[in-house]
Amino acid sequence: MSVSVLSPTRFLGSISGLLQVASLLALVLLLLKAAQLYLLRQWLLKALREFPSPPSHWLFGHNQEFQTDQELQQLQKWVEKFPCACPRWLWGSRVTVIIYDPDYMKVVLARTDPKDHGSYRFLSPWIGYGLLLLNGQTWFQHRKMLTPAFHSDILKTYVGLMADSVQVMLDKWEELISQDSHLEIFEHISLMTLDTIMKCAFSQQSSIQMDRKSQSQSYIQAIRDVKSLFYSRVRNFFYQNDIIYWLTPDGLRSKRACQIAHQHTDQVIKLRKAHLQDEEDLEEVRRKRKLDFLDILLFARMKNESSLTDKDMRAEVDTFMFGGHDTTASGISWTLYALATHPEHQQRCRKEIQSLLGDGASITWDHLDQMPYTTMCIKEALRLYPPVPTVGRELSKPITFPDGRSLPRGVHVSLSFYALHHNPKVWPNPEVFDPSRFAPGSDSHSHAFLPFSGGSRNCIGKHFAMKELKVAVALTLLRFELAADPLQAPIPVPKIVLDSKNGIHLKLRKLL
Q: Kindly report, residue by residue over 240-251, the tens digit of the pLDDT.
A: 999 999 999 999
If one compares 67 and 156, the residue with the highest pLDDT of the two is 156
d(CA 117, CA 125): 13
- Checking if the pLDDT of 217 tops 90, the result is no
Question: Which range (10-14, 154-158, 179-183, 454-458) has the least confidence?
Answer: 10-14
pLDDT tier at 12 (50, 70, 90 boundaries)?
Answer: low
Across 122-138, average pLDDT: 95
Instruction: Report whether pLDDT(198) > 70.
Output: yes
pLDDT higher than threshold 60 for residue 280: no
Residue, of 309 and 102, whose pLDDT is higher: 102
Interatomic CA distance for residues 111 and 455, integer angstroms: 8
Q: Is the pLDDT of residue 2 over 60?
A: no
Confidence of residue 327 (pLDDT cuts 50, 70, 90): very high
CB neighbours (10 Å) of residue 285?
Answer: 18
pLDDT given at position 108: 98
Q: Give the number of other Cβ atoms within 10 Å of residue 218's Cβ.
A: 15
Compute how many other C-beta atoms are within 10 angstroms of the C-beta atom of residue 412.
22
pLDDT 10s digits, 373-391: 999 999 999 999 999 999 9
Q: What is the pLDDT of residues 395-426, one digit of tens each?
A: 999 999 999 999 999 999 999 999 999 999 99
Q: Are 386 and 417 in contact (CB under 8 A)?
A: yes
Tens of pLDDT, residue by residue over 19-71, are 888 888 988 988 998 888 889 989 999 999 999 999 998 888 898 888 767 89
Rounded CA gap, 77 and 383, in Å?
18
| Average pLDDT score over residue span 449-455 | 97
pLDDT band at 505 (very low <50, low <70, confident <90, very high): very high
Distance set, CA 219 to CA 187, 248, 259, 494 (Å):
12, 22, 10, 20
**CA–CA separation, 47 and 100 (whole Å):** 19
User: Coil, strand or helix: which one is 69?
Assistant: helix
Q: 459 among the known binding-site residues? A: yes
Distance from C-alpha of 416 to C-alpha of 317, rounded to nearest angstrom: 26
pLDDT at 282: 61
pTM: 0.92
- For residue 348, name the pLDDT band (cuts at 50, 70, 90): very high
Tell me the longest C-alpha to C-alpha distance in the chain.
108
For position 23, what pLDDT does the model report? 87
Q: What is the pLDDT of residue 166?
A: 97
User: Looking at this protein, which amino acid is placed at residue 165?
Assistant: S
Q: What is the mean pLDDT of the chain?
A: 91
- Of 270-284, 383-397, 449-463, the least confident: 270-284
* pLDDT at position 289: 63
Neighbouring CB atoms inside 10 A of 212's CB total 7
Q: Which residues pair with 505 in a beta bridge?
A: 184
82 by DSSP, 3-state: which?
Answer: coil
Please report which confidence band the pLDDT of residue 1 belongs to, taking 50, 70 and 90 as the band edges. very low
Task: pLDDT band for 492, please (50, 70, 90 cuts).
Answer: very high
Above 90 in pLDDT, residue 180? no
Q: How confident is the model at residue 468 (pLDDT cuts 50, 70, 90)?
A: very high
302: nearest Cα among 321, 284, 268, 276? 276
* Residue-level pLDDT at 65: 83
**In CATH, 68-510 is 1.10.630.10:** yes
85 touches 66 (CB < 8 A): no
Mean pLDDT score, 426-454: 96
CA distances for 32 relative to 18, 29, 177, 244, 298, angstroms: 21, 5, 63, 20, 49
Dist CA 393 CA 108 (whole Å): 9
At residue 451, the 3 state secondary structure works out as: strand
Phi, psi of 240 (to 5 degrees): -75, -30
In 3D space, the residue among 483, 475, 421 whose CA is nearest the CA of residue 450 turns out to be 421
pLDDT at 204: 87
**Distance (Å, whole) CA 300 – CA 149:** 13
- Return the bridge partners of 451, or none: 453
Integer Cα distance of 273 and 281 in angstroms: 10
Report whether pLDDT(94) > 60. yes
Confidence of residue 221 (pLDDT cuts 50, 70, 90): very high
Q: Is the pLDDT of residue 456 over 60?
A: yes
Q: Which amino acid is at 352?
A: E
Q: Decide: residue 185, CB within 10 A, 0-12 exposed, 13-18 middle, 19+ buried.
A: buried
* 229-274 confidence digits (pLDDT tens): 999 998 888 899 999 999 999 999 999 999 999 999 999 999 888 8
Confidence tier at 288 by pLDDT (50, 70, 90): low
Question: Would you list the domain boundaries of the chain?
Answer: 68-510
Give me the pLDDT at residue 343, please: 98
- Cα torsion 273, 274, 277, 281: sign: negative
Query: Phi-psi bin for 429: left (phi > 0), alpha (psi -120 to 50), beta?
Result: left
Position 79 pLDDT exceeds 90? yes
pLDDT at 310 over 90: no
Q: What pLDDT, in 10s, does the model give residues 331-345?
A: 999 999 999 999 999
Q: What is the pLDDT of residue 142?
A: 93
Distance CA 252, CA 257 (A): 9
Rg (CA), the chain: 26
Q: What's the pLDDT band for 482 if we cut at 50, 70, 90? A: very high
Cβ-count burial 63-84 (b if 16+ within 10 Å, e if not): bebbeeeebbeebbebbeebbb
Distance in angstroms (rounded) separating the CA atoms of residues 473 and 360 = 12
In the chain, what percentage of residues exceed pLDDT 90? Answer: 70
